[in-house]
Amino acid sequence: MTYFQRSIVEKKLVPQGVDPRHLEGYIRLQFSTLGHLDWPTIRREVKLGIACIKEGGIEAAERNAKSFGL
């Protein structure tokens, strides 16, 4: 688990049953680096990532995460 993934899990931003790798993958589509993001932006992007997972499915989320080496 990456530092970013641990951080969003610890902040309780990841709903039960959602893989934090999938969220990080979708966030990385918009932001190549994550260290500069503030928490309001991260919260917004996590919500968007959850919507992407719901719309596109787990298989697409897994392929996307793997494309980033997650």
What local confidence, expressed as pLDDT, does residue 53 receive? 98
Query: pLDDT for 47-70, tens place per residue?
Result: 999 999 999 999 999 999 999 999
Amino acid in the structure at residue 20? P
Amino acid in the structure at residue 47? K
The pLDDT of 26-50, averaged and rounded, is: 97
pLDDT-above-90 percentage for the chain: 99
Nearest to 7 by CA among 39, 50, 44: 39
Query: pLDDT for 21-33, tens place per residue?
Result: 999 999 999 998 9
What local confidence, expressed as pLDDT, does residue 28 receive? 97
What local confidence, expressed as pLDDT, does residue 47 receive? 98
Q: Where are the domains of the chain?
A: 19-67
